[in-house]
Structure 1
Amino acid sequence: MVKVEIVEEKDQQSSANSPYASTSSSRHSSQESISSISSELSAEETLYDRINALVDIVPPATRHRISTKVSKAVSFVKTGGKIMGNIVWIVTTSALLVGLPLALSLEDEAKIVAQEREMMAQQQGAQQMLSPGSAYPPPPGSNQTPQKGIVPPGF
């Protein structure tokens, strides 16, 4: 169990040695302390040194909480980045290994279909030229007379 005692200062000399007790007026001492502080960085002191000195202002429990939260956030970002990198790797390699050959084969098939259509059109054109009821005039030197009143296709 804890006992609470009231301690009275008996010695005035010990209060004179205290950094908080002052014989001068508080206004005068505050002006002295303000004038003794330089707002600019000295040549020996860097900005890092000043920021590092601020560590003493933050209590250790708060520093620990801030440190844990920052480390958890960094860990979360690292894990998320690694997972996203793996997903991107899987998608790109799958696209290259499956999609590229598929696209090339579809392109080849489209070329083959276009060639077949072109060959069919050429064969139909040759058949129309040779058929007796053709809308095109007979080649020169043949005995056939063209039919009157038939409009060629496309007009």
Structure 2
Amino acid sequence: MVKVEIVEEKDQQAPSSPYASSHSSRTSSSLSLSSIESDSPVDESLLDRIAALKDIVPPSTRHSLASKVSKTASFFKRSTKIAGNVIWVVTTSALLIGLPLALILEDEAKVVAQENEMLAQQQGAQQMVAGSSLYPPSSNAQKQGGQQGLVPPGF
């Protein structure tokens, strides 16, 4: 915090004072403030300056602002913890239940595909056997010794 003091100069003819002049008074000044060197320390950091700004804001406003920020931070912390727990439960459930179920369904699909393939092979073999009995070779083709193309009946 800054403390302001009024210093009375006893010796007005001191040339080292920037305020000393022959016509000096407290109400008027011919010197600009930029010509006066600052008394602030040079090694003051930006963080120190920002920390000094807290004196501008009243304590009740600072307290309410700090409590709102604290409540918001704790809400986000609790939310992310709950979301993390939910994601953990869903992931572990999917691994423990879903993965074995998916593997069983895949095995069952392979078995069904093999059964369908075997059934198709059996039906194809039966059609071949049945097809050869439907179209017996003609006696003329056997007599000629050559092989003749099969033509379905009705053509």
TM-score w.r.t. the length of structure 2 is: 0.64
| SS state at 2:62 partner | helix
Per-residue Cα deviation, 1:100-132 (whole angstroms, up to 9, x for no partner): 111111111111100000000111111111121
Instruction: State the distance in 2 between where 1:34 and 1:65 align.
Output: 42
CA 125–28 in structure 1, closer or farther in 2 if over 3 Å, else same: farther
In the alignment, which residue of structure 1 is the partner of 2:152? 149
Tell me which residue corresponds to 1:73: 72
**Residue 47 (1) aligns with residue 46 (2):** yes
Per-residue deviation at 1:56? 1.1
- After superposition, the Cα gap between the structure-2 partners of 1:92 and 1:34, relative to the gap in structure 1 and judged at 3 Å, is farther
Secondary structure of the residue aligned to 1:44 is coil
Higher relative contact order (CA 8 A, sep 6+): 2
Structure 2: unaligned runs, 5 residues or longer: 8-24, 136-147
The aligned counterpart of 1:104 is 103
1:81 is matched by which residue type in structure 2? Answer: T
Scaled by the length of structure 1, what TM-score is found?
0.64
Shift of 1:146: 7.2
Following superposition, the deviation at residue 77 of structure 1 comes to 0.4
1:11-22 map, 5 Å: 17=6
**Distance between the aligned counterparts of 1:68 and 1:95, measured in 2?**
40
Give the total of aligned pairs. Answer: 118
Q: RMSD value over aligned CA atoms? A: 3.1
CA distance in structure 1 between the partners assigned to 2:128 and 2:106 by the alignment = 33
Q: Percent identity?
A: 55
Q: Tell me by how many angstroms 1:23 deviates.
A: 1.4
Letter in 2 for 1:65: S
Match of residue 121 from structure 1: 120
How far the C-alpha of 1:33 sits from its partner, in A, is 6.8
Q: Which has the larger radius of gyration?
A: 2
Q: Please tell me whether residue 58 in structure 1 is matched to residue 62 in structure 2.
A: no
Deviations 1:7-47 (A, max 9, x none): xxxxxxxxx949xxx8133x768x41796569xxx751111
Match for 2:112: what amino acid?
A: V
